[in-house]
Amino acid sequence: MKKPNAIVGYHGYWAVLTYLGLISAAVGICLAIQGHLRYALICLMVSGLCDAFDGRVASLKERSDKEKNYGLQIDALADLVNFGVLPIVIGYSIWQNNRFLLPLHFAVCSMYVLAALIRLAYFNVIEMELEKKNEKRTYYEGLPVTSAALIIPFVFSLCDLFALPFQHIYLCLLFALACLFVLRIRIPKPRTRGIVFLCLPGLPAVIYIFIGGR
C-alpha cells in the first residue's frame, strides 16, 4: 500500500507552474495595494504565462484520476485569484481616490469577479464531463479568464503610450471582459504553437511596462 504524503494534496512537478502563477498573483496584489501598478501588471502577465503552459507540463506525466481532478481544482482556484481578484485589486489601486464614482467601480468589480467565478466553475463541469467520455476539448465557451493576463497589460501600454485615461478605459474594459467571460461564444482552443503566437504581443507590453513608459 502506497504511503500517503505528509502534506495533504497531490504533488509533483506537474503542479509547480500552477503554484508559481498563484504566488505571482499574490505578489501582484500586494504591489497593487501599495500603488506599484506597473509591477502588478507584470505579475499578472507572469501568472498568465504560467497558466498557458501548466497543462502542457502536466500532460508529460501519467497521472491518476485523483491527481487529474486535483490539478483541475487547483488550476481553477488559482485562476480565480490570478485573473479574477488581481485585476479588481489593480482597479481599486487606480480608483480609490475617485470617491464620486466609487459605487460604480465596486459594481463593475463585483460583476467581473462573479463572471470569472461562473466561467471557471462552468469550465470545470464541462471538463469533467469530457474526461468521463474520454474526449478532448477543441473549443472554449466564453472568453477564457486567462486572456485578462494579455489584454489588460496591452491596453494599459496603449493608454500610457498615447496619454489616454486608463482609469476610465479600465472600467469599460473590466465590464466588457465580464460579459465575454459568460457569453456563449465558441473560441477555438489553441495548440502549443498557437499559445506561443498569442504570447508574442505581450512581449512588447512587458518591455514597455518594465522600462517605465512615460
User: What is the pLDDT tens value at each position of the chain, 214 positions in all?
Assistant: 455 667 788 888 889 999 999 999 999 999 999 999 999 999 999 999 999 888 888 878 888 888 888 999 999 999 999 999 999 999 999 988 777 777 889 999 999 999 999 999 999 998 888 888 888 878 888 999 999 999 999 999 999 989 999 999 999 999 999 999 999 999 888 766 656 666 666 667 667 776 765 4
The CATH number of 13-211 is which of 3.40.50.300, 1.10.3720.10, 1.10.645.10, 1.20.120.1760? 1.20.120.1760
What are the contacts of 61-68 at 24+ separation with CB within 8 A?
61/12, 61/13, 61/14, 63/12, 63/14, 64/10, 66/10, 67/10, 67/12, 67/14, 68/131
Which pTM does this prediction carry? Answer: 0.89
